[in-house]
Amino acid sequence: MSDSVGIGLLVALGALVMIVLALAVAALVAVRKYRLPLRGLVATLAGLAYVISPVDAVPEIPLGPIGLIDDITVIIATVVYLRGLIAARRGLDPAGIDPPGRAPHPMPRQPPPPRVSGRRRGAR
């Protein structure tokens, strides 16, 4: 029974390492592509350092897979923060709305309603 638990934890750890590596590569690509400020790089490295470090708010050893919740939360928070920086770099706020002071995109014009020819009922 202890072998299956050990194998399960090893698989979970391997998956976490693969996710961390993929996020590291994606973050570095985003930092270079969008020329994010230094705080974006610091946030990325701090998030990755927390996930890799053995010191956790919720430890994995006594709690098993439940202990990965804080690592996942840090990963999600870092991704959301970087997404906000990328949106700001593109000139949009996080909701995708143009900021004040910037000319809005023109709205497409709607055609006028069709005119009804002829007389109305009841008109004299």
pLDDT one-digit tens code per residue, 57-74: 777 777 777 777 888 888
Q: Which two tokens stand for residue 53?
A: 């470090």
- Determine the average pLDDT of the residues in 22-40: 79
| Domain assignment of residue 108, yes or no | no
| Domain assignment of residue 123, yes or no | no
pLDDT in tens, 70-121: 888 888 998 899 888 888 877 655 555 555 665 555 666 777 778 777 666 6
| Domain assignment of residue 8, yes or no | yes
- Determine the average pLDDT of the residues in 4-29: 79
pLDDT of residue 120: 62
Q: pTM surpassing 0.85?
A: no
Bin 53: left if φ > 0, else alpha if -120 < ψ < 50, else beta. beta
Q: State the alpha helices, DSSP H only, in 34-92.
A: 38-52, 60-63, 69-90
| Domain assignment of residue 15, yes or no | yes
- Determine the average pLDDT of the residues in 21-43: 80
pLDDT of residue 92: 58
| Domain assignment of residue 99, yes or no | no
pLDDT of residue 111: 77
| Domain assignment of residue 41, yes or no | yes
What is the domain count for the chain?
1
pLDDT of residue 38: 81
Looking at per-residue confidence, does 24 or 82 come out higher? 82
Bin 99: left if φ > 0, else alpha if -120 < ψ < 50, else beta. beta
Cβ contacts of 101 within 8 Å, gap of 6 or more: none
| Domain assignment of residue 44, yes or no | yes
Q: Which domain holds residue 12?
A: 2-90
pLDDT of residue 77: 92
| Domain assignment of residue 116, yes or no | no
